[in-house]
Amino acid sequence: MHSDKESKMEKLSVLLLDVAGTITSLEYVKEKLLAFILEESPSYLKDHIEEEAVKNALKELQGNDKEIDVESSVEIIKKLTGQNSDDKNLKFLQALISKAGYEKGTLKAHIFPDVKVALANWSKDRKVAVYSSGDIEAQKLIFSNSVEGNLTSHISKFFDLSVGVKTAVESYNKISDELKVKCEEIVFVSDDPNELKAAKEAGLVTALMKREGNEEICLPIFPTNEKLRILWMDLRCVVNIKLLKFNLFFSFSFLYYSLVM
């Protein structure tokens, strides 16, 4: 007879992935991708500021009826990027600028070397989805222009902040609805305990990712009446969690798997 824990594990049908700090390094995002966007924003806007989509996004960022210009627009982009803003118009513009870099070959997205194998394993008989604060176009650019090649064929669905912020329980309910699966059928992998807390409250199974360069993780954010089981996931092989009688096709390194014991 299966225990509740075993039954819970056997129901998993979707792997939902964070991007920065999980799939790609924070160093790449901060030191290369965002640095490129800030450096290239003046020349990009000079060439594209009259395009309707660009102009509308800049007007929304500016928040008033003043005439937009390259200099003030660049300053707004720099300011909001420095504040790590999740404004959808900023994300849209960042994606456009980075797209130009990927197309020219100036940018090549860093992907942790264990990710390619993990995605290939999971996508054989399960869905793989992505949930990031970057807009969907930006997510696709990373997966299609990675140092490990084009990985988009492994991804069934991309989600951004249009479904809600990543620390809101309702966001994960919406994702569950769109994927047409129950919350308990989804395992969400992220390096942010606050995101995992919201996902766990929605009913998802959660996995906390620890990567080199990530911030130190404070585990007590998880409810004190739950225990945290730590399992080492070897990146070289498919992990067979015999105790749970379930083969998890994770091959991520430094993966901490958390569930109610």
Overall average pLDDT of the 116-129 stretch: 89
How much is the pLDDT for 114?
85
How much is the pLDDT for 124?
87
Q: Rounded CA gap, 115 and 209, in Å? A: 12
Contact 70, 78 (CB under 8 A): no
Overall average pLDDT of the 95-121 stretch: 92
Query: Residue 219 — pLDDT band, cuts 50, 70, 90?
Result: low
Instruction: Report residue 42 as tokens.
Output: 């003046």
Domain extent, residue 221, equals 2-24+112-245
* Residue 193 belongs to some domain of the structure: yes
* Residue 255 belongs to some domain of the structure: no
* Residue 250 belongs to some domain of the structure: no
75 lies in the same domain as 143: no
- pLDDT of residue 49 exceeding 90, the answer is yes
Q: Rounded CA gap, 141 and 170, in Å? A: 27
- pLDDT of residue 11 exceeding 60, the answer is yes
Overall average pLDDT of the 150-165 stretch: 96
Overall average pLDDT of the 177-194 stretch: 92
Higher pLDDT, 260 or 64: 64
* Residue 251 belongs to some domain of the structure: no
Within 10 A of 145 (CB to CB), how many other CB atoms are there? 21
* Nearest alpha-carbon partner for 121 in 260, 250, 259, 261: 250
Q: Rounded CA gap, 251 and 148, in Å? A: 15
* Residue 258 belongs to some domain of the structure: no
13 lies in the same domain as 95: no
How much is the pLDDT for 82?
93
Alpha helices by DSSP H, 65-113: 70-82, 88-104
How much is the pLDDT for 232?
30
- pLDDT of residue 246 exceeding 60, the answer is no
Query: The pTM is what?
Result: 0.80
Q: What is the CATH number of the domain that holds 208?
A: 3.40.50.1000
Query: Residue 251 — pLDDT band, cuts 50, 70, 90?
Result: very low
125 lies in the same domain as 50: no
Q: Rounded CA gap, 207 and 189, in Å? A: 5
pLDDT digits (tens, 9 = 90+) for 78-98: 999 999 999 999 999 999 999
Q: Rounded CA gap, 97 and 24, in Å? A: 19
32 lies in the same domain as 95: yes
131 lies in the same domain as 217: yes
How much is the pLDDT for 95?
95
- Percent helix / strand / coil, the chain, rounded to 5: 50, 15, 40
Residue where one domain finishes, among candidates 104, 124, 154: 104
- pLDDT of residue 9 exceeding 90, the answer is no
Q: What are phi and psi of 217, to 5 degrees?
A: -100, 130
How much is the pLDDT for 260?
31
pLDDT digits (tens, 9 = 90+) for 13-33: 999 999 999 999 999 999 999
- pLDDT of residue 143 exceeding 60, the answer is yes
Angle, helices 193-202/169-179, rounded to nearest 10 degrees: 60
- pLDDT of residue 6 exceeding 70, the answer is no
How much is the pLDDT for 67?
86
Q: What is the CATH number of the domain that holds 89?
A: 1.10.720
Count: domains in the chain = 2
118 lies in the same domain as 218: yes
Contact 41, 92 (CB under 8 A): no
Q: Rounded CA gap, 227 and 250, in Å? A: 21
